[in-house]
Amino acid sequence: MKPIFEQLPNESAKAFAAFKTYLDLGSERSLATTAAQLGKSKVLMERWSRKYDWVARIKAHATYRADLERTMLESLAREKAVEWEKLWEEQRIAEWKVRCDALRLAQRLIERWETNEAKFGTVEGIARLLELVHKLGRAAAGMPTEPVQVTEEVSATLEIEWEVALKKVYGTTTTAQPVVDVLEAGSRDELK
């Protein structure tokens, strides 16, 4: 079905050309201006306008253009959202890789610290590195980097959904490395 602002079945080519001229005038639109541009009488324009309902056709055309513009803007917004999602995913993966590298470094530092009598570095330095690892990992996973107190019960379904989402993004997990919580360790003896 053709929109009503296109040529109507019972509309002559001359009447439709007059309507198109009227339509194309935009904010300067008037029957007198249309008649003057076409070299026709204003009375003829008034008759065609009534007979072919130019007012309703102008409204239909404006609605069509607004719908088309909105659709184009929504499409553009979706395309941009997809682009941003790809960039965010790349950023999350990069942050996760940096986090994994930093975790391996922290684990090597802890091993060296425990086995070396000279004790280069400090427990505080290792703790800061682990804190950075924690924040990078949470940021890469889209989780808050600061502690959040949960005041409501969390359903098991939500936890399963997180696990599935993480496996989907990062693949299956490997055997977990033991994590030493050096933030609570107060002295060298507590680490051993």
The reported pLDDT for the residue numbered 114 is 80
The rounded distance, in Å, linking the Cα atoms of 162 and 143 is: 11
Give the residue carrying structure tokens 């570095």.
121
The reported pLDDT for the residue numbered 183 is 47
The segments of the chain whose pLDDT lies below 50 read 158, 176-177, 179-192
The reported pLDDT for the residue numbered 192 is 45
Residue 167 lies in a domain: no
> Tokens for 150?
């949960």
The reported pLDDT for the residue numbered 159 is 54
pTM over the 0.85 mark: no
Amino acid 77 reads A
The reported pLDDT for the residue numbered 51 is 96
Q: Which of 71, 94, 111 is at the close of a domain? A: 71
Residues 65 and 104 in one domain: no
Q: Which of 71, 92, 114 is at the close of a domain? A: 71
Residues 188 and 97 in one domain: yes
The reported pLDDT for the residue numbered 76 is 92
Q: CA dist 52 to 10, 45, 49, 119, 166, Å?
A: 9, 10, 5, 93, 62
The reported pLDDT for the residue numbered 38 is 95
The rounded distance, in Å, linking the Cα atoms of 40 and 164 is: 72
Host domain of residue 26: 13-71
